[in-house]
Amino acid sequence: MIRAANVEDREGISRLLTQLGYPDTELYMKENIERLLADPNEELMVYEAEGGVIACLSLHYIPQLGLRGDIASISYLVVDSSARSKGIGQELVESASASATRRGCASIQVHCHARRIAAHTFYERQGFREAPKYFSKRLDQ
């Protein structure tokens, strides 16, 4: 079942992010979830089964100045390794797309690291197409 996340989901979400390659998130997960939940331009969804969180998706709404309709952006989507290839990721993407449509977004995008080839294939099956490059600069160095 897909539902909005809450702070009590932090251990499950942290465990999932560790599988995605983000260790030690439990150190700041509570603070990050509280911040996301307080922001009207953020949504955090979880997929719960058998009393536990087995997947999550983080969705951000980016207001646009020069375009009609905002952009929705998925920054994290992870399904527990034991529950993959069962349609859970697809359900989360569909839920995020429906939410973005209700909000009046013109498009939905996802940033996915170049090394995540299997994830690229998944997103292409969901109707996403590779878009132009974007650039990033670290601010903590």
pLDDT tens, residue by residue, 27-80:
999 999 999 999 999 999 999 998 899 999 999 999 989 888 899 999 899 999
Q: Is residue 39 part of a domain?
A: yes
Q: Using an 8 Å Cβ cutoff, are 109 and 93 in contact?
A: no
Question: Looking at residue 112, what is its pLDDT?
Answer: 64
Q: Is residue 49 part of a domain?
A: yes
As separate numbers, helices (DSSP H) first and strands (DSSP E) second, the chain gives 4, 5
Q: Is 130 exposed, middle or buried (0-12, 13-18, 19+ CB in 10 A)?
A: exposed
Count of structural domains within the chain: 1
CATH number at residue 109: 3.40.630.30
Average pLDDT over residues 85-114: 89
Q: Which range (74-83, 96-105, 118-127) has the least confidence?
A: 118-127
Q: Is residue 84 part of a domain?
A: yes
**pTM higher than 0.85:** no
Q: Is 69 exposed, middle or buried (0-12, 13-18, 19+ CB in 10 A)?
A: middle
Q: Is residue 31 part of a domain?
A: yes
Q: Using an 8 Å Cβ cutoff, are 86 and 50 in contact?
A: no
Residue 114 has pLDDT above 70, yes or no: no
Q: Using an 8 Å Cβ cutoff, are 46 and 79 in contact?
A: no
The proportion of the chain whose per-residue pLDDT surpasses 70, expressed as a percent, equals 85
3-state SS class at 11: helix
Q: Is residue 137 part of a domain?
A: no
